[in-house]
A and B are shown apart, each in its own frame.
Chain A
Amino acid sequence: MSRKKKSGGTREGAVRNNLYMMRLAWRISPKRTIFSGISFGLNQFEYLFFSGFFMKKILSMIEAESSFGEVLAFLGITAGTFLLVFCFYSWYQNLLVPVTDVEICQGLYEMLYEKAGNADLSCFEDTEFYNRYMLAMSESDQRLTKTVDNLWQILLGTAAVAVSWVMMIRIDRWVILFVIAPLIGNFVFAGALNRLAYRIYEESVIFRRIADYVNRVIHLADYAKELRMTNIFRVMEQKQKDAEAGITGTMDRYVVKNVLLGWGYLYFTFVIIFEGVIFYGAYRTMVSKTMPLSDFAVLTTLMTSVSWILIGYTKALLEIRKNSLFIQNLRDFMAYEPPIPEDSPGIMPKERVQSIEFRDVSFAYKSGREVLKNISFSLQEKEACALVGYNGAGKSTLVKLLLRFYDPTEGEILVNGINIKEYDLKAYRRLFAAAFQDGKIFARSIRDNLTMGRMTDEKALLDALSGAGIKTLVEDLPGGMDTVLTREFAEDGVVLSGGQNQKLVAARAFSQNTPVRIFDEPSSALDPMAEHELMESIKRDGSGRILLMISHRLSSVQDMKKILVLKNGRLTEQGTHEQLMAADGEYASLYRMQAQQYRMEKAFAEPRILKRQAGETPEICPDI
C-alpha cells in the first residue's frame, strides 16, 4: 500500500485516479455524470455568449443599420434559447442533484460496505489501514460528485479557454498578448502562493491538532470528572493558548512574502489585462480608428471572462491533485484482497462439533508484534474450558482465531479434525455463539438484538433472557420484547446501563442453539450476586456443548473440565483445577492470591514470593 501511496502524488497517477473516479461515477449514476457535464457546458456557453458575442452582435447590427424589428427578433431568439437553458439548470439543481446524491450515496456505500464487510478483522486493527480506510470512507459520496464536477470543469474549461482566445483574436490579433498577464498571475504567482499556503498549513498543522485535542478533552464525558476535581483544565487552557500563538505566529512569519505574492497575483491577473485591454481598445478606436465600437464594447467584457475562466481552470487543476490523494485511499481499499474473504466457499461443517484442536498456533500482527506463540490444545464434545491469564496475554486473540476473524500465521486450527480454512466461512461461524466483553447493542428492538435477524422461537428468547437475569426487566418495559433500544433515533428508546447491556449480550449468546458457546469476560460490569447468577446460567446452559470462557474470576472457572493459562502469548499450563493446583505454578499462585483474600482469618501474612512475582508481571496493556 505504501508503494501505491506515492503514485497518487505524481501527475500521471493523479490523472489516472481522477479517471478512475469518473468511471466509478459513471457506473453508479450515469445520469448525474452526463448531466453534470451538460450543465457545465451550458454554463460556459452562457458565459461566453453573453460576454463575447451577444453585445457585439447587437452593436454591429445597429452599426450595420439593421431595423429595430430585426434586433428585437434576435433578442427574442436569445430569450427563447435561454428559457430552455435555465429550465434545464433549475431542473438539474433542484431535482436531479438531490435525487442522484441519494443514488450515489446508496451505490457507492453499498459497494464500500460490501468490501468492508469482506475485509478480515486484522485490517481494522492495523492502525495504518484503518486510518486510511476511515479517510476513504468519510464523505466519499460528496468527493465523488466533486471529482466529477471538477473533471468537467477542466475538460470544458479547456474548451472555454480556447474559444475565448479565438474570440479575442478575431477582434484583434495583438490583444491576445494581454493574456500573458493572467497566465503569469495564475501560474507563477498563484503557484507560489499555493506552495506557500501549503507550507503554512504544514507548519501549523501540529498546533491545530493540539487545539483539537484540547477541544476533545473538554467535550468528552469521560474527562468531565477529572476536569472538575483537578486543575488540569489550566494545563489544557495553556496548551490551547500556545496553539493559537503558534498558528497566528506562523501566519505572521510569512506575511511579507504572502502579501507581495498576492499583490503580484492580483495585479497581473486583473489590473494589467483589464486596464491594458481597455486602454488598447480606446487607442484603436479613438486614435487609429481601426476598431468599431461594437468590438471595443465586447473587449471590455471579454477580457473579464478570460481572466475568470483562467482562474477557475487553474483552481480545478489544483483540485485534481488534492482529490487524487483521497481517491488513492479509496482505490487501495477497493483493490485490497482480504486473506479471508467473508464469502469464502468450502465444505459445509457438520452440525455437531466433536473436537476443536489448536496445533502449534502462532499469531502475529502485520506490524510484527507477536501475540500468540505455539499454542496447542484440544477440546472434546461437551467440554467446558476456561481461558485465564493476565491482561494482554492473548486470550481474546485466541478466541478471534477460533472464530476465524484472522488466520494463524503458523500452525493450524482443526474442528472435527478438519482445518477450519476448509469450511465455508459463514456456515462455520454459525457453529458458534459468542458474547464479547465489548458486545454491541444495536438501535433496534430487544427482539432483534437477541435474534440478530435469524428466526428464533419466542420461548427460546424468553429462556435466554431469564438465563441472563433480565427477563423481569424486559417484561416490565412498556413495549416488552419490542422495545427499541438506545435513543439513536427513537425518542422513547430505552437506554440500558452497562450491566444490563452485558446481560443482554449474554442473552444473545444464550438464544442461539449452537454447538459451541464463547463468553469473553461476561460479567465484568456486574455486581457479585448478578455475576454469580450469570456464571451459574452459563454453566448450566453450557452442558451438552463446548463452552469456552475467558474470566478473571478464578472462582467461577474452577469446576471447568479444562483450564488454559496464558502468559505472554504462550500456553503455560493446562489441566483441571486440581491438576493445576497440584502443579503449583502460575495458576495456583493466581488462585491463592484471590482466594486468600476470602479466607476467614483476617490478618494474613503477605507472601513475599507473590510480591516479587507481581513485580515481574508484564505490563498491562489493553486486551486486543
Chain B
Amino acid sequence: MKKQISQQLWMLRFCISTAPKLFFFNLFACLEQSCFLFFEYTIWIGYNLNAAEEGAPFSQVAYLTLGVFILYLVHQFIDSIYFQWSFERIKPVLTFRLRRQIYEKARTMDLSCYDEPDFYNEFVLSTTQADQCVERFLEEGREFLRLLVQLLLYFSYLMAMDKAGLVLAVCCCLVNYLLGRAYYRLQEKARLERLPAERERAYQHRVLYLHEYAKELRLHPEMNGKIMKDFHECNERLSDISIQYGHKLWILGFLREYVFQNFMLYAGYFPWLLFQAMIRQNISLSSMVILLAAVRRTIADAGKILGCLSGLTYNSTFIGRIRSFLSYEPGIRSGEKEVDASLDTLTLSHVSFTYGSGRGWHGAGTGAVEEAGQESVAVSAKDPGQRPAGAAAQVQGRVGETLKDICLEIRKGEKIALVGYNGAGKTTLVKLLMRLYDPDSGVILWNGEDIRNLKLDQYRKGIGAVFQDYKIYAATLRENVAMDLCTGQKQETYQVEKALDRAGFHLEERKLKYQIDTPLTTEFEKEGVNLSGGESQKAAIARTLYRNQELIIMDEPSSALDPASEYRLNQELKEIAEDKTVIFISHRLATARDADCIYMMKKGQIVEKGTHEQLLAMGGEYSRMWEVQARAYQ
C-alpha cells in the first residue's frame, strides 16, 4: 500500500515538474467540474423543487435561473478548454518527456542487459507502455479525484441535511468497500491464474498467423494440427478458470451492486424517508426526492471510487517498473581520462569473461514477469517485429560463452584476424574491446592505459565498427553517414560526400533528388529512398570512413553475401583499411590469410597464433580448418 502510494506520488511529481501550468489547470478544471455537478443535481434542483412546493416568488426563481445560465456559460467554457485541449495536450508533453528519460537511460544500459531475457522483457514492456502508463495515471487519477471531491461534498451535505442518510451511506460504503476489495482481489487472482494459458495461447496465435511460420506449417500439416490442438486446450483451460471463479464473482458482484446499493437504498432508506414525509410529515416531498438522489449518488460514487483504486493499483506496477528502470545504474561507467588521439598499442592482458556473472539486474518486483506474458500479446498484435519474447530468445544465444585468459597485442597499423569455431568467443572478444562489456579479470590497455579509466564516449568514438547487421536509419543520408546531429555546413557536406565516394557509393550515378539530404527508407517519408542491400552496405562503410577512426573492427561483414559481392566487399574493405589498425572476424579463412597475425580461437581461448604460413606450418587446428575449406578448390 505504502509502495503504491509512493509510486503515484512519484508520477504526480513527474507531472508537476514537467508541465506545471497544464497540470494545475487540469486539476482546477476537474475540481470545478465536481463542484458544478454537485451544485446542479443537488442544490439547484433542490432549490427549484422546494420553491415549487413551498411557493416562493417566481421572480426570484427567474433571476436565479438567468444567473445560472450565465454562470454555466463560464463553466462550460472552462470545461471545453479542458476537454478539447488541455487534457489531451498534456499527454504528449508527459509521454515524450518520460520516454526521453527512458531513452537516455537505455542508451547507457549495459549491453549485457540484453542477454537477460527477463530484464529485456521488463525493459521493453515497461517502457513501450510508458505512454499508456501516463494516460492511465491521468485518467484514473482524474476520475479518482472527481469522485473523491463529490463524495466529500455529499458527505457534508448529508451531514447538514439528514444524519440518518449519512449513517446509511457510510455503512453501505464500508460494506461495499470490503466486498469490493474481496471482489477485485478475486478478479486479480483469476487474472493471474489465466496468465500462463494466455501466454501460451498468444504464442500459438503468433505461430498460426504470422508469415514467418507459414512455410513450415504448410510443409508439416501435422504440426499445424498439433498447435491447433494446443490452442483448443488453452481455451478449455481458460474457460475452466473463468467458470471456477465466475460463480464466486457472480455472488460477490450481486451483493455489492444490488444488496448494498439498490436494496439498501430503495428498501431501506426510501421507506424511512417516506415514513418521515408521509406519517411524521417532518420533511417535504422535494427534500425527500433530493435526499434520496443524494444518498444514491454517494453510494454509487463510493462504488466507482473503488474501481478507480483498483485501476491505480494496477498502474502502480507499471510506474514501479519504469522507476526502477530509470534508477538503474550501468555497470560500465565512464572513466575520467582523456583518450590519446593516436593508437600505439592495444593490449589484452589475461582477460577472462563470462556472460551474466554478477551483472544481474533486479527487477521491480513480483508478478512483473508474469505480466510480461499477457502484455506481450498486445505488443505482438500490433507489430510482430517488436515481440519481446522472440527478441530475447535471440539474444539469449550468446549466454554460456566465456573467455579464458586471453592475451593479445595489436600495434598501430597491424591487421589481425580472429578465426575459429562457432561459440568460441570471437564476437565476445571484440565486444570487450569496444567496452560493451567489462572483463571479469584481466585488463584491456589502450596505449598502456586501462580502458576503464578512459572517457567512455570518447573511447568508443575512436573505434569504427562494421557489423553484418548494420542498420539504415529513417533519417537523411547525411545523418546516416555522420551518425550524429548534422550542422549542414559545407565542410561537413564535403566530408560526407567524400566518405560515400570512397565507400563506392557514387552520388552522381545514383541521382538522388536531394543529394545527401535525401531521406532514407519509406518509413515515413513519401520521397524516402530505399537503398538496396549493396548500397546500404556501402553507406555503412562510409560511416566508418567519415569518422576516420584509427581502429576498425569488422565482425563477419560479408557472411550473408553471394560470392561476387563478398569478394567485392572484401576488396573494398582491404583498400579502405590500408593505413588503419584492423581487427576482423571471419569464417572464411581466405579473407584472414593476409592478416599480420591470425588468432585461432576455440572454447574461449586462443589456441594458436601467427601468420598464415606459420600456422599452416604448425599443422594445428588452423591448418586443419584451412585444409577443409581450401581442399575443395585445389
B49 touching A75, Cβ below 8 Å: no
A275 touching B65, Cβ below 8 Å: yes
Question: Contacting chain A: which of B156-164, B353-361, B389-397, B487-495?
Answer: B389-397
The interface residues of chain B lying within 8 Å CB-to-CB of A434 are 215, 219
Complex Cα distance, B568 from A229, in Å, reads 26
Interface residue A238 (Cβ < 8 Å from any Cβ of B): yes
Interface residues of B in 70-107 (CB under 8 A from A): 72-73, 76-77, 79-81, 83-85, 88-89, 92-93, 96, 99-100, 102-103, 106-107
Number of chain B interface residues as a range: 35 or more
Interface residues of B in 36-71 (CB under 8 A from A): 40, 44-45, 48-49, 51-53, 55-56, 58, 61-62, 65, 68-69
Between B102, B124, B214, the greatest number of chain A beta carbons within 10 A of the residue's beta carbon is seen for B214
A323 CB to nearest chain B CB (Å): 17
Between A and B, 6 residue pairs with Cβ closer than 8 Å are A59-B289, A86-B254, A99-B242, A138-B382, A225-B434, A258-B85
The closest CB in chain B to the CB of A619 belongs to B532
Question: Contacting chain B: which of A157-165, A362-370, A374-382, A524-532?
Answer: A524-532
Question: Contacting chain A: which of B24-32, B170-178, B460-468?
Answer: B460-468
The interface residues of chain B lying within 8 Å CB-to-CB of A215 are 99, 128
Interface residue B577 (Cβ < 8 Å from any Cβ of A): no
Interface residue A477 (Cβ < 8 Å from any Cβ of B): no
Interface residues of A in 508-532 (CB under 8 A from B): 524-532
The interface residues of chain A lying within 8 Å CB-to-CB of B434 are 225, 228-229
A459 CB to nearest chain B CB (Å): 20
Given known A117-B208, A121-B214, contact A228–B628 (CB-CB < 8 A):
no
B351 CB to nearest chain A CB (Å): 20
Number of chain A interface residues as a range: 35 or more
B560 touching A217, Cβ below 8 Å: no
The interface residues of chain B lying within 8 Å CB-to-CB of A234 are 484-485
Interface residue A174 (Cβ < 8 Å from any Cβ of B): no
Interface residue A487 (Cβ < 8 Å from any Cβ of B): yes
Complex Cα distance, B249 from A591, in Å, reads 72
Known: A263-B76, A267-B73. 15 other contacts (CB 8 A): A90-B251, A234-B484, A258-B84, A278-B44, A282-B51, A391-B562, A448-B223, A453-B226, A495-B397, A497-B397, A528-B625, A552-B561, A597-B567, A602-B612, A620-B565
Complex Cα distance, B399 from A217, in Å, reads 23
B420 touching A527, Cβ below 8 Å: yes
The interface residues of chain B lying within 8 Å CB-to-CB of A236 are 103, 473
B378 CB to nearest chain A CB (Å): 8
Interface residue B421 (Cβ < 8 Å from any Cβ of A): yes
Given known A240-B96, A267-B72, A487-B117, contact A453–B250 (CB-CB < 8 A):
no
Given known A68-B279, A193-B84, contact A90–B218 (CB-CB < 8 A):
no
Using an 8 Å CB-CB cutoff, how does the interface string of A98-122 with B read, 1 for contact, 0 for none? 1101110110011011001100010
A235 touching B484, Cβ below 8 Å: yes
The closest CB in chain B to the CB of A278 belongs to B48
B209 touching A137, Cβ below 8 Å: yes
Interface residue A440 (Cβ < 8 Å from any Cβ of B): yes
B55 touching A89, Cβ below 8 Å: no
Using an 8 Å CB-CB cutoff, how does the interface string of A266-286 with B read, 1 for contact, 0 for none? 110011001100110111011
The interface residues of chain A lying within 8 Å CB-to-CB of B79 are 262, 266
A274 CB to nearest chain B CB (Å): 7
B475 touching A99, Cβ below 8 Å: no
The interface residues of chain A lying within 8 Å CB-to-CB of B274 are 58, 68, 71-72, 75
The interface residues of chain A lying within 8 Å CB-to-CB of B254 are 86-87, 90-91
A430 CB to nearest chain B CB (Å): 9
A255 touching B85, Cβ below 8 Å: yes
The closest CB in chain B to the CB of A251 belongs to B89
B533 touching A622, Cβ below 8 Å: yes
B285 touching A62, Cβ below 8 Å: yes
Question: Contacting chain A: which of B341-349, B404-412, B444-452, B586-594?
Answer: B586-594
The closest CB in chain B to the CB of A342 belongs to B218
B52 touching A275, Cβ below 8 Å: no
B377 CB to nearest chain A CB (Å): 9
Interface residue B4 (Cβ < 8 Å from any Cβ of A): no
The interface residues of chain A lying within 8 Å CB-to-CB of B311 are none
The closest CB in chain A to the CB of B543 belongs to A230
The closest CB in chain B to the CB of A219 belongs to B124
**Chain B facing A: main interface SS:** helix
The interface residues of chain A lying within 8 Å CB-to-CB of B537 are 620
Q: Which 5 A-B pairs have the closest CB atoms?
A: A453-B222, A555-B632, A597-B590, A262-B80, A619-B532
Interface residue A220 (Cβ < 8 Å from any Cβ of B): yes
Question: Contacting chain B: which of A2-10, A144-152, A205-213?
Answer: A205-213
Which of B196, B289, B460, B533 is A489 in contact with, Cβ under 8 Å? B196
The interface residues of chain B lying within 8 Å CB-to-CB of A334 are none
A293 touching B53, Cβ below 8 Å: yes
Interface residue A584 (Cβ < 8 Å from any Cβ of B): no
The interface residues of chain B lying within 8 Å CB-to-CB of A79 are 262-263, 266-267
Using an 8 Å CB-CB cutoff, how does the interface string of B243-254 with A read, 1 for contact, 0 for none? 100110111011
Question: Contacting chain B: which of A31-39, A310-318, A352-360, A606-614?
Answer: A606-614
Given known A94-B253, A297-B286, A390-B565, contact A230–B629 (CB-CB < 8 A):
no
B99 touching A240, Cβ below 8 Å: yes
Which of B200, B220, B561, B563 is A452 in contact with, Cβ under 8 Å? B220
Interface residue B111 (Cβ < 8 Å from any Cβ of A): yes
Complex Cα distance, B621 from A289, in Å, reads 110
Interface residue B381 (Cβ < 8 Å from any Cβ of A): yes
A620 CB to nearest chain B CB (Å): 4
The closest CB in chain B to the CB of A247 belongs to B92
Complex Cα distance, B287 from A59, in Å, reads 12
Which of B52, B72, B220, B235 is A106 in contact with, Cβ under 8 Å? B235
A263 touching B77, Cβ below 8 Å: yes
Which of A222, A439, A440 is B469 in contact with, Cβ under 8 Å? A222
Using an 8 Å CB-CB cutoff, how does the interface string of B593-606 with A read, 1 for contact, 0 for none? 11000000000000
